[in-house]
Amino acid sequence: MYYDVPSGYETRPVPRGCQGFDVRPGEARAVRVYPDLSFEGPVAIVRHPSDAFYYVVEQRGTVKRFVDRADAREAELVADLRGVVKGIGYEDGLLGLAFDPAFATTGGLVLKYTAPTEDPTRIRLVIAHARSFDGGATLSKDSIAEILSIERPADASHHGGPPGYGRDGMLYVPVGDGGLDGGALAQDPTSLAGKILRIDVSKTPYGIPPDNPFAATKDARPEIFALGLRNPHGWSFDPDEPALWVGDVGLHSYEEVNRVRGGENFGWPIREGAHCKDDAPCDATGLVDPVHEYVNFGGGAIVGGPVYGGARFPWLRGQLVFADFVSGRIEHIPRAATATTSTSARLLVESGKNVTSFSVTPEGELLFADHVGGLWSVETNVDGRTVPATLGETGCVDMTRPTEAPPGLVPYSVAMPLWSDGTEKTRFMAVPDGATIRVGAEGDFEMPVGSVLVKTFLAGAQPVETRLLVRHADGEWGGYTYEWTDDGRDATLLENGKVKDVAGKPHTFPSRAQCVSCHTPAAGFTLGLHVAQLNHSIVYADRRRANQLATLDHVGLFEEPIGEAATLPRFPAREDTAAAPEEWARAYLHANCSHCHRPGGPGRGNADLRFSSPLAETGCDSAAFFDVIGREDARVIVPGDPDGSVLVARMRGEQTGRMPPLATSVVDERAVQQIRAWIKGIDSCAPL
């Protein structure tokens, strides 16, 4: 029996407000189509040039097709190229296919994939011809003939998106920079890395179009159409004008959309987006600005899409559509945008999916693939309702007492909060009447549909921002930011992120995409709602102190009894100066970094910063993805050497190089000292 349960929560609170978020925001919604079909790591969807079949390219090396019918129940295997394609690495595999414009008579296709070499330290990025002798039902493995091969180190990435034919009959091939050498090859005209290639595959093995920009240039590869790209992933030709639209994946600052013309240089790695890389001075002479960019805060990966031409959304015609793989946010910009036009993208739909590629139906409507395996259509919102425009309308906050939980909402506090420049925060949760919380195997709370988490940021006693994290009726999560007025009477929903000076320092209001770039599926979305984070006492409204887990259990909010709090995991409090250095440091890294840096998370590299992970898996003596300290063979954590550990350097980094990356302008000095003390005491990465 719990003797310290406060009287205010002798029975379960019944929500009186903070509901009504049963539709996702935006101008459209994502709807699963062909629900009986599922694919393994789909990276491209291609329509047969004349028959009613869609072809799905699976990264593992297989191609499947299905007939375009809503009740399609089976996808036929067209080709199994797993003996040809190199075993999947981070971005390796079968990457795309394109039908020859004369497929009806030639049966020809072009494939893009990575392949092994005799040297296990090398791979090849291959463009190859293939043929189908039965109208596309199967692809002859024996017919595969390599057209072009680009050799790279085996740990290369950034291979770019699928190939495609232009209206000029030429084959266009996006090639990423390989993810090595800081991307320097993207500026090297003698290398094919970091480029858009344009070749004539009607010749054997291929020809160079005479109007290619470097066709007659010495010391340059004649295949190059454009250069200075990092990872051109997702692209399309404009259906109405001679324009090539490319989404280029950024490093740790900006994702960009480029309108590509022959001979143009888009600046990577001199610049990222329209900014000098890492804020260092640079010479931008001759470099072309993107037509649109957005800040990714380390979690984004743009996927370029088509210019919309369907009838479902008349107002969207002529708009360029693109998505973000991490956030699932699908947006659009005017096709008329130019490098000199200030362009703000508008939200089309918060899909909640890992969008890998787009396709267009014969009617011009949008279809996209989710990396998990489903295919989705973009359709109109059923009733057109939107998220409330003001915080007062949500019922989630008592506007006269914003720091106190309103009736029906439960306050909570985390032991080790996410660092937000030291800003004070209050937190509440709303759980629908009759619903319960499931506790996962790792201690994360799985909140029921209809739940809302409320976090308000304060400057002194003045509210500055309130963030709502909402689990919608479709089971997906969405994040919404409300900016308080200076008089503290209400707060307004922001469509996009912004930065505002508050009490002499910048305060970042995250965009919706930035919210879900941290609240990741791999981390269970809720982040702070975790057994170890809530296993401590707080003072409730009636001034009585009680353990949070015991209280939630007592009033029936857990699906299963959680057990005695004393037997459950517990994080040390941030202010606990007596905590063991390892416990404090690991709890801090869990709260601030593990939502991205864990298996299945969007963080780059292989560090697993969950509290429960063995030391050897945290990046201890492991190669760093980003070398920010200028040491050869830089390591995430070097036992006994905090100054040589990239982890510490990233915590002290400036602007784009700092971790955590979102909404911080001030280094967390206390955390740096605690992490340093922990690393200094590490003798070995081996398990005890």
Please write the tens of the pLDDT for every residue from 339-386.
444 457 888 988 878 899 999 999 999 999 999 899 999 998 765 556
DSSP state of 265: B
Region 28-380: CATH code: 2.120.10.30
**Predicted local confidence at residue 537, as pLDDT:** 94
**Predicted local confidence at residue 298, as pLDDT:** 45
* Mean pLDDT of the chain, nearest integer: 88
17: exposed, middle or buried (Cβ count in 10 Å: 0-12, 13-18, 19+):
middle
Compute the average pLDDT of residues 202-207.
94
Give the relative orientation of helices 669-680 and 581-592 as an angle to the nearest 10 degrees.
130
Q: Where are the domains of the chain?
A: 1-25+386-571, 28-380, 575-688
Whether 607 and 659 have beta carbons less than 8 Å apart is answered as no
Banded pLDDT at 117 (limits 50, 70, 90):
very high
Q: CA torsion sign, 204 to 210 to 214 to 220?
A: positive
**Predicted local confidence at residue 1, as pLDDT:** 27
User: pLDDT: is 253 or 174 the higher one?
Assistant: 174
Nearest to 259 by CA among 301, 229, 215, 298: 229
Token code pair at residue 560: 């299963």
Tens of pLDDT, residues 406-429: 888 999 999 999 998 888 999 999
Compute the average pLDDT of residues 564-578.
93
Collapsing DSSP to helix, strand or coil, 610 comes out as coil
Nearest to 595 by CA among 535, 528, 542, 650: 528
DSSP state of 516: H
Task: Please give the C-alpha separations between residue 591 and each of 254, 415, 535, 584, 585, in angstroms, as whole numbers.
Answer: 24, 9, 14, 11, 10
Tens of pLDDT, residues 214-241: 999 999 999 999 999 999 999 999 988 8
Judge whether residue 22 has pLDDT over 70.
Answer: no
Dihedral-angle region of residue 372 (phi above 0 means left; psi in -120 to 50 means alpha; beta otherwise) = alpha
Whether 548 and 516 have beta carbons less than 8 Å apart is answered as no
Tens of pLDDT, residues 264-297: 999 999 999 999 987 789 999 999 999 999 887 5
**Predicted local confidence at residue 658, as pLDDT:** 67
CA distance 390 to 379: 26
CA distance 52 to 70: 12
Instruction: Dump strand ranges (E) for 238-295.
Output: 244-248, 254-260, 271-272, 275-276, 292-295
In degrees, rounded to 5, the angle at the alpha carbon of residue 389 between the alpha carbons of residues 384 and 414 is 110
Compute the average pLDDT of residues 430-441.
92
**Predicted local confidence at residue 633, as pLDDT:** 78
Element (H, E) at 112: strand 108-116
